[in-house]
């Protein structure tokens, strides 16, 4: 009775087990086939669209700039008319988006950025003023009533500081939005792909594979 040693598989044997065709596969093909057979399929990573500025026309740069600059109409029109024009002017960037959603990714991207910024700068600040102001008022009443148990001596100054900070945020947020939009209007008019902090990433994701996907 003979005991033949077990021969370890050679490289050719390993290749033949993975290969489905008689030709020799490259290393890259072997790795891809191994991953397909023995590893769980990877989730497709959604990449943001490319908003190239190389072939932007004069019309595209103009409308992208108008979308950003329309915040001036929203801010000052709303100030002069006690807010009556805001429900109309705030939708100017959205109208531009609808006009170009099948024509220009560049205009679409910047119009959605401008619309998102105006929503945050108007409705967001208004909601903060109403809700935050109401919460601050209730807190101040509680702090004043707490004076009778001495706790209010500490709470009232602290809550007054909170109110000052809240007022500063409400006052400076529209100014910051106006500054950002003005820079964006200038940059896009000069064919640059200006991006707002945080907002641009969300718009990218939605255009790449979310509910705002405008792929034709």
**Residue 197, CA atoms < 13 Å, CB-side half-sphere:** 3
Average pLDDT of the segment spanning 72-87: 85
Average pLDDT of the segment spanning 73-80: 86
**Considering just the CA atoms, what is the radius of gyration of the chain in Å?**
30
**Residue 23, CA atoms < 13 Å, CB-side half-sphere:** 4
Phi and psi torsions of 76, nearest 5°: -80, -35
H/E stretch holding 136: helix 133-145
pLDDT of residue 114: 95
pLDDT of residue 16: 43
pLDDT of residue 158: 84
Q: Is 91 within the bounds of a domain?
A: yes
Specify burial of residue 30 (Cβ count, 10 A radius: 0-12, 13-18, 19+): middle
Q: Percentage of residues in the chain with pLDDT exceeding 70?
A: 69
Average pLDDT of the segment spanning 68-76: 92
DSSP 147: G
Number of independent structural domains in the chain: 1
Q: Is 49 within the bounds of a domain?
A: no
Q: Is 23 within the bounds of a domain?
A: no
Residue whose tokens read 């702090």: 143
Distance, in Å, from the CA atom of 185 to the CA atom of 62, rounded to the nearest integer, reads 9
Q: Is 121 within the bounds of a domain?
A: yes
Residue range 31-48, pLDDT digits in tens: 566 555 555 444 444 444
The confidence band for 65, taking pLDDT boundaries of 50, 70 and 90, is very high
Q: Is 93 within the bounds of a domain?
A: yes
The confidence band for 51, taking pLDDT boundaries of 50, 70 and 90, is low
Q: Which residues contact 4 (CB under 8 A, 6 or more apart)?
A: none
Distance, in Å, from the CA atom of 9 to the CA atom of 163, rounded to the nearest integer, reads 76
Phi and psi torsions of 213, nearest 5°: -60, 120
Q: Is 73 within the bounds of a domain?
A: yes
Residue range 120-178, pLDDT digits in tens: 888 888 888 888 889 888 888 887 887 776 666 777 888 888 889 888 988 998 999 99
Average pLDDT of the chain, as a whole number: 77
Average pLDDT of the segment spanning 53-75: 90
DSSP 122: I
pLDDT of residue 32: 63
- Model confidence at 98: pLDDT above 50: yes
Give this prediction's pTM. Answer: 0.66
Q: Strand, helix or coil at 48?
A: coil
Q: Is 110 within the bounds of a domain?
A: yes
Q: Is 103 within the bounds of a domain?
A: yes
Residue whose tokens read 């009533």: 145
Size of the chain in residues: 216
By residue range, what is the domain housing residue 200? Answer: 58-209
Residue range 10-20, pLDDT digits in tens: 544 444 444 44
Q: Between these two residues, 123 and 96, which has the higher pLDDT value?
A: 96
């Amino acid at each position: 009775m003979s005991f033949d040693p077990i021969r370890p598989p050679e490289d050719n044997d390993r290749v033949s087990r993975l290969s489905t065709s008689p030709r020799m596969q490259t290393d890259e093909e072997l790795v891809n086939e191994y991953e397909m057979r023995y590893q769980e399929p990877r989730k497709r990573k959604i990449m943001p669209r490319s908003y190239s500025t190389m072939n932007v026309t004069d019309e595209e740069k103009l409308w992208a700039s108008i979308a950003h600059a329309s915040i001036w109409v929203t801010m000052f029109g709303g100030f002069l008319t006690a807010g009556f024009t805001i429900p109309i002017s705030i939708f100017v960037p959205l109208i531009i988006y609808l006009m170009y959603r099948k024509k220009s990714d560049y205009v679409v991207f910047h119009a959605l950025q401008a619309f998102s910024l105006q929503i945050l700068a108007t409705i967001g600040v208004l909601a903060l003023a109403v809700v935050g102001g109401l919460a601050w008022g209730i807190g101040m009443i509680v702090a004043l009533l707490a004076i009778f148990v001495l706790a209010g001596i500490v709470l009232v100054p602290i809550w007054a500081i909170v109110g000052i900070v809240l007022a500063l945020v409400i006052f400076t947020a529209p100014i910051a939005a106006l500054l950002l939009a003005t820079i964006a209007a200038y940059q896009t008019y000069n064919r640059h792909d200006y991006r707002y902090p945080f907002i641009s990433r969300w718009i990218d994701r939605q255009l790449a594979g979310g509910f705002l996907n405008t792929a034709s």
